[in-house]
Amino acid sequence: MRLTLRVWRQRDADTPGAMVTYDIDDISEDMSFLEMLDTLNEKLILRGEEPVAFDHDCREGICGACGVVINGDAHGPERTTTCQLHMRHFDDGDTVDVEPWRAGAFPVVKDLVVDRSAFDRIIGAGGYISVPTGAAPEAHATPVPKADADFAFEHAECIGCGACVAACPNGSAMLFTSAKVNHLNVLPQGAPERETRVLDMVSAMDEEGFGGCTLAGECATACPKGIALPSIAAMNKEWLRATRKASRR
Amino acid sequence: MALATRTDRRPSLTRSLWGSTVGKKTVMAVSGLIMLMYLVAHMLGNLKIFFGSGEFNTYAHWLRTMGEPLLHYEWALWGVRVVLLAAVVLHGVAAYQLSRRDIRARPSKYVHKRRRASYATRTMRWGGIILALFIVWHLLDLTTLTVNENAQPGRPYENVVATFSTWYGNVIYLVAMLAVGLHVRHGFWSAAQTLGMGNARRDRILKTLANGLALVLTAGFVSVPVAVMTGVVG
């Protein structure tokens, strides 16, 4: 396959970037999108140019490290991560635009790499359960209704890649935050911190400068793990409940 | 090592509502639903115009004597006006502040442009501005009668006919009613999500309800100028 790639190149956070065009051939349709970028980088290195910087790790769609905007879609045209997107979804001769996640809270570090540590700080505000360490507890000691377990698992699928923020016209992190809140809040293990978790995580999200939710639905369409839009409504419900309880104290 | 003890001091309900994006959206949802309920009543009242001048003007007068003798003349009407004014102001200010924040949160655009979200969703902000301007015009036209061609106090039927006998009166009204329909279509469903009522099972019902409300409201409101233009009401 032959492709014309237009890739966002930016030396560092303080230097303005621009789209740079690269023509690339001998692309196999069995390559993943990242392998295609690897092929481009090999050529760039041989030519003595700076390779394109991009984030990646597991390359099997479970870590959340990779992610670029391909032709305007976070993670490209298929509902999967960039590493699991294969070149067979493109046609010979296509022009492909590759850009980093765009959001005020995700500043570009270099080329296609953005700083997503804002997500870490949201998790730090309550995306955990406080338990004493020790041996693993007996699994039957805390029964979880099947429906709740399913609900928690659906939200636990979030890998924190940031595609929701990249796709959102407001750069909002509501889908990410709601996935994390709902995952823990429905489980008995998360119950002791149920109210503080949602209040603290939402306020951490606001402090990071993410936008608000206008229910445009772009996040859920982009999510490679299929976190659904009603996740946001479920978090809103938790937030209102916690706010009511906190104001009564 | 002991775990840090949480000193759980939370701000007041008002502070936490206005200080958070989720809270501000809640304010928008509630104020929007108040305005929506008013719009339904307003639209139904407008349809009285099809029963003639006498019945429409009597109904319009009743709006002022509503609640008597318990309440004084126009007290109930002023109560409604105060609630609506509060709703409009809160809705508008929250929308302005959230929009400013949303635009700041996405400082650089994608080079590869793609149409995002539905038409109703994308037009919420401009639609809101159009509606705010329309409300000012509408009050000057049919409440204070400042810009009305007929401008007879106590004769709303004749004033309405006068408005819809001018081309600009019709154009402004029709544009605004289309904006209402689009705004309600995304707004009602969004309000349900913001208030935590949405889930996968209920989504279809909420979307149908939103579309139904939008359609009925627009059709009901638009029927009045159409009736005047076609001579059914005159």
* CB-based contact, B25 to chain A, within 8 Å: yes
Mean pLDDT of chain A: 95
Q: Could you give the residue range(s) of every CATH 3.10.20.30 domain in chain A?
A: 3-110
Per DSSP bridges, beta strands A73-74 and A3-9 are: unpaired
Query: What's the CA gap between A169 and B108, in Å, rounded?
Result: 11
Q: Do B3 and A72 touch (CB under 8 A)?
A: no
The minimal CB distance from A104 to the residues B8, B106, B192 is found for B106
Topology adopted by domain A3-110: Ubiquitin-like (UB roll) (3.10.20)
- CA A25 to chain B, closest CA, distance in angstroms equals 22
The minimal CB distance from A196 to the residues B6, B17, B107 is found for B6
Give the pLDDT mean for B28-53. Answer: 97
pLDDT at A124 over 50: yes
pLDDT at B199 over 90: no
Q: Describe the crossing of helices B75-104 and B124-142 by its angle, rounded to 10 degrees.
A: 150
Question: Any idea where the domains of chain B sit in the sequence?
Answer: 23-103+122-229
Q: What is the pLDDT of residues B156-167, one digit of tens each?
A: 999 999 999 999
| Predicted local distance difference test score (pLDDT) of residue A12 | 95
The DSSP code sequence of A99-148 is E----TTS-EEETTEE--HHHHHHHHTTSS-----SSPPPGGGS---HHH
* CB-based contact, B204 to chain A, within 8 Å: no
| Predicted local distance difference test score (pLDDT) of residue A139 | 82
What's A117-248's CATH class? Answer: mainly alpha
Query: What's the CA gap between A109 and B53, in Å, rounded?
Result: 69
pLDDT at B74 over 60: yes
Q: Nearest Cα to A234, choosing from A166, A155, A165?
A: A155
Q: Rounded to 5 degrees, what angle do the CA atoms A14, A16, A17 make?
A: 125
ipTM surpasses 0.90: yes
- The residue whose two tokens read 């730090």 is A124
CA nearest to B108 within chain A: A102
Topology adopted by domain B23-103+122-229: 3 helical TM bundles of succinate and fumarate reductases (1.20.1300)
Q: Using an 8 Å CB-CB cutoff, list chain B residues near A238.
A: 196
Q: Using an 8 Å CB-CB cutoff, list chain B residues near A172.
A: 21, 102, 105
Going by the DSSP 8-state scheme, the letter that residue A23 receives in this structure is E
Helices and strands counted in chain B (H then E) = 9, 0
Q: Could you give the residue range(s) of every CATH 1.10.1060.10 domain in chain A?
A: 117-248
Q: Describe the crossing of helices A117-124 and A174-185 by its angle, rounded to 10 degrees.
A: 30
pLDDT at B1 over 50: no
The minimal CB distance from B196 to the residues A103, A209, A236 is found for A236
- CA B139 to chain A, closest CA, distance in angstroms equals 29
Give the pLDDT mean for A209-236. Answer: 96
pLDDT at B92 over 90: yes
